[in-house]
Amino acid sequence: MSFIVLGLSGALTHDPSAALYIDGKLVAAAEEERFIREKHAKNKMPLEAARFCMQYAGIRPSDIDVVAFPFARIPLTTPARWHYARRYWYAPDRSLDAIFNGNRHYRRNERRVRDLLDKLHISWDKIDFDAVEHHLAHASSAYHLSGFKEKTAILGIDGKGEYATTFFGYGENGKIHKIKEFYDPDSLGQLYGSITEYLGFDMLDGEYKVMGMAPYGDASLYDLSRLIEFNGKDIKVNTSLVNTIGLRRYKEGRRGYFFSQKLIDWLGPMRKGDFADDPYIHYAASIQKLYEDISLKLIDCYLGDILKETGKLVFAGGGALNVKLNQKILELPYVDELFVQPAASDAGTAVGAASYACHVRGVEVEKMTHVFLGPGYTHDECVEACEKHPESPEFEIVEDVPQRAAQILNEGNPLAWCQGRMEFGPRALGGRSILGCPSFKGIADRINEQIKFRERWRPFCPSILDTIAEDIIQSTQPAPFMTITFNVAEEWKSRIPEVVHEDGTSRVQVVSEETNPIYYALLKEMERTNGNGVVLNTSMNRRGEPMVCSPTDALNMFFSSDLKYLFLEDLLVTKRGDRDL
């Protein structure tokens, strides 16, 4: 009999997902947003994602042994609820609620899980339900999937879970040990998110835009240190300015923000529009530097001794998607190797809760070597989608897909690329991508303006052959998931300028033949034809939309943009009258 664990996320009303482990093997994982076509799937549970996982694995509801969920009861005897009550004194309803009704969110979540299981025909009475602490799920998603066998430092930076916002610990012999946690409202993630809102983006979605804006600014022009007190060991967010609730929130109409009128009085009005201009680029640079500086000092304080002993660090939580911080972490003298969970946000807690449930039952989970865990589609399903699509696309069967794709790219054309199973996590890694030739001048601007309809200053990332990776990034650090930026070697800056950011770095994906053979073959063909085994790679979606999942999703996006070429498996799809090759 197999041991089957279904992990579910969605505890904090965003990024619901499902993951399925069978005997320690991660068989399937997917985010709900991809199926319902609603970015972040706010206030939803992962119904379609769970259905996909079960259908893909061919299991029945009665086959599931454990359902794991990343949200647990927090006892009043722990410091978390008391800290929350004390720090939110200015909102007494919230403060008293933390003391007298501090697990109401847990009870709500349990009801939502029960309702979801009913819809999936999974009997609550016949499964074990594991409620895993939120940051413990993040920690497990990083540590247990890293493949590290040595004593390993564990870092978690997030907005918040039940109450915890930041986690420092270590893993040894499979067991996770806590060293230190910070609690809401003292959150580096929510501090960064508050400034993200002030800079005109949505919290939980626009933080990477702030990070992309930061290199255009000068952090020394504005000192934002008054946003947070830091004494080398503890943080205290200034809730009169940021991470505010209740009456302290700045409002425009009926919408309240996670910062106050005092912040507006200090820094000026919120940024509007799509332009990266003064002073907002400098605010972005300053908050990025503040986030990096405090994070690095906290790592040194709580994890430094472990790292000096072993050199291994794993990182998860929404804060782990800050790839510039990850570069700075990797540059620390005592960090030899860094594993960042590729689905570091709350979507990854489905995997983390499930992997933790496996661990406590003595089932060792496999190392994560790829994220191609979502749906895949056959040749016949792609043909059917084309034949049924109202735009009546033209398509042909291509025998040598990498050769034809390289020809299109080398002509200076962007190319939509849908191959194999969909990626789990926020990064397109050669499954659902838009590609370009990074040596072709202007290709990045063209994709930003005419295809993805996003801000011009947003950077693009390269996928590179493993055989040339060390030459480009000047490091042997594994980088299969686009989770770390690296300084690009001078020679390569001129060879692939469209994927080098303003500060001379790139967030690279190093591609191996083992994990994605057809994508690897494309990169080899690019190397053969133009000398550079590199492509520009961005997710196949338009601004504000989730990454595409199905062939129909891809066709819909294709016909609503200026894309001319789309590969659906071995089908080359074009618009009528648009084909040049």
Q: Which domains does the chain have, with CATH numbers?
A: 4-78+88-147+343-360 (3.30.420.40), 188-340 (3.30.420.40), 379-574 (3.90.870.20)
Tokens representing 390 are: 């109202």
pLDDT at 451: 84
Residue 535: beta bridge partners?
Answer: 463
> Over the chain, what is the mean pLDDT?
96
Q: What are the pLDDT digits (tens) for 156-182?
A: 999 999 999 999 999 999 999 999 999
Which residue type occupies 34?
R
Series of mean pLDDT values for 10-residue runs along the chain (581 residues): 96 97 98 98 98 98 98 97 97 95 97 98 98 98 97 97 98 98 98 97 92 95 98 98 96 95 97 87 98 98 98 98 98 98 98 98 98 98 98 97 98 98 97 97 89 78 98 97 98 97 96 98 98 97 94 97 97 82 48
Cβ atoms of residues 102 and 74 within 8 Å: yes
Ordered DSSP codes for 396-433: EE-S-HHHHHHHHHHTT--EEEE-SSPBSSS---SSEE
Q: Which of 180, 154, 170, 138 is nearest to 338 (CA)?
A: 154
Dihedral of alpha carbons 15, 453, 430, 501, sign: negative
Cα–Cα distance between 124 and 108 in angstroms, integer?
16
**Given CA atoms 531, 532, 533, 536 in this order, what sign does their dihedral have?**
negative
pLDDT, tens digit, 9 for 90 and up, residues 70-103: 999 999 999 999 999 999 999 999 999 999 999 9
Count how many Cα atoms sit within 13 Å of the Cα of residue 256 in the half-sphere of its side chain: 10
CB 530 within 8 A of CB 495: no
Q: Quote the Cα angle for 338-168-323, to 5°.
A: 40
| pLDDT at site 543 | 86
